[in-house]
Amino acid sequence: MPGVEEIRAGIALANEKASASIAALQQAAQSLEEAQQSLSMATSGSSQPEVSQAHGLLAEALQGITGMQSTIQASMSSADSYSARL
């Protein structure tokens, strides 16, 4: 079994990678927001069901990203708590 310092280093590396994934997800969310704005401008006034569906799916994708970011942050917090107890 690895020593305490090796475990802490591994947790720190995992959290660093997780933090990078949060940043990448933030970039994805920003792109999706821009896509929503473009879609809104392009389809303004349309009442077609496909347009509503497209808007809803983009909103759902954004919600999913927000949920993933929260889950990753919770994972990092749990790992930090464990590391602090070592």
Angstrom distance (rounded) from CA 69 to CA 21: 8
Q: Are 79 and 15 in contact (CB under 8 A)?
A: yes
Residue 15's domain comprises: 4-85
Q: Which of 23, 35, 86, 24 is nearest to 60 (CA)?
A: 35
Provide mean pLDDT across the span 56-83. 98
Q: What is the mean pLDDT of the chain?
A: 97
Q: What is the pLDDT of residues 18-52, one digit of tens each?
A: 999 999 999 999 999 999 999 999 999 999 999 99
Q: How many domains does the chain have?
A: 1
Model pTM? 0.87
